[in-house]
Structure formats: structure tokens, C-alpha cells
Structure 1
């Protein structure tokens, strides 16, 4: 269950974000999610979407794959091992390593 949490933040692109607490299994993670109730023009598609900080959850999966939080706690993005491997290969190719082995 999601419930309103204290605090707001501002994104120069998307506008004002509101925070939510997430309760599951009798445990509440305060400010574990955020959303843009009235996003700025061009980002209206975000109005009914909720993003979750994976670092504030015990475990989150996408299509059965456990996600890994980005380092730090500023961004709420996450990656899966499959995405991470593709991303490393893409970066390696753009750096001149056609085999995608650059680490």
C-alpha cells in the first residue's frame, strides 16, 4: 500500500515530486517512492506513474530478475544484470573494443 509521506523535491525538467511510503507485509518503508502529481509540459505521461527506490526495499524484481540499486541514494534508478551486461558491451564498443570486453 502507498501512502503520502513528508517532503517534496524539485526537478528542473519534470517539476515537483511528492514522496510516498510503501507498506507491504506489515513493514513500512518511509519515503520509498515518489511521483510527479502535476509534471511540467512534455512530461505529462509521468502523472500517474510511481517510481521506487530499490535501496529502500528488501528485494525488487523485474520479470523475475532482481534489480540492483544505483550507487548512492540520489537517483532511484535501477539495473538488472542483463541490462548491466548490455550496457558494458555498448560502452566498450563505443570506446573502440568491438568485442565488448572493456570493463
Structure 2
């Protein structure tokens, strides 16, 4: 199989593009698959690796809303969630979010869930992703990406 073409994050649009993607997206936590889908959306924005949004039906464990909310100038207000491991020994808060009432251009994201790339393992088409640097943005970095990624040391002013 030929290698995937490189995607230069500097060529991604602003405002961000929302696009349905058939890529196989998985999230594993403590060796257990907690989300699995080929029905995700990705957001492509200049200088950012893609942020993936998964349908709620792809999750195998329940979420609980937290009080945290943030605002994105493009998508609107985000709602955050906590998740508890199946053995009930660990709860992680505010590392999963969704848009309950996204702005019109991003209406397809309504209710879809996005995960920071940690503390769990996130995969795109079987490749373990790296989190976007800085722990502020939720992008998933894969080997097909090239260019300057926001969050790296020299990019704080981009």
C-alpha cells in the first residue's frame, strides 16, 4: 500500500473546516476500548493537528457532565465531562468535551465528543497519536502531518 500523502497543517483553513472522516478512530483506557468509530468528524484549522469528534454511540462507558465550560469563537460553548474507569478506581475530569448548541457552520458536531489525547491512548487508523503540544488544544498528531504545529515552543504567538 502506498504511503499516505503528507498533510501540512499550515495549509489547513481559518476559519476551521469541519469534515466527516471515515478514518478508524479509537480511544483505549487501561487496555479497554472505550470509544470506537468510523463515523467521526475532524476539524482542520491552520497550525493545528486535526481534532476528532466521535458520536456518543461510539462510547462503551458512561460520561458525567462537569461544571466546566469554555468558549470557542468558531464553534461556540463547550460542555465538559468526567469519566470513571470500569474498575471504578480512577475518574478523569474535563478531558472530554462536546458542543450542545454549536454555531451554525458546525451544527453537525452537536453532541459529538472530543477527547484530549491523554491520559488514554488515542488511535487513528491504528496509529497511536501524540497530543498537540501545550495541553491547551485537543489536536491529535499523527505521522502524516508536517509543518509548524501550534503549541510548540516557538509558536505561542501564532
Common fold: TM-score over 0.5: yes
Query: In structure 1, what is the equivalent of residue 104 of structure 2?
Result: 41
Larger Rg: 1
> What are the within-5 Å matches in structure 2 for residues 47-86 of structure 1?
47-55=110-118, 57-81=119-143, 83-84=144-145
Cα distance, 1:48 vs. partner? 2.4
TM-score (norm 2): 0.49
5+ long unaligned stretches in structure 2: 1-61, 149-158
Between 1 and 2, higher relative CO (CA 8 Å, sep ≥ 6) is seen in: 2
Q: Does 1:5 align with 2:66?
A: yes
Give the alignment's Cα RMSD to 1 decimal.
1.7
- Residue 43 of structure 1 aligns to a residue whose secondary structure is helix
CA shift digits 1:71-101 (9 cap, x unpaired): 00110011122x23xx25xx8xxxxxxxxxx
* Higher strand proportion: 2
User: After superposition, where does 1:14-33 map in structure 2 within 5 Å?
Assistant: 14-25=75-86, 26=88, 27-33=90-96
Stretch deviating more after TM superposition (8-17 or 18-27): 18-27
Q: Which residue of 1 aligns with 2:53?
A: none
Once the 2 structures are TM-superposed, how far is the Cα of residue 44 of structure 1 from its aligned partner? 0.3
The 2-side partners of 1:75 and 1:61 are apart by 17
Normalising by structure 1, report the TM-score. Answer: 0.72
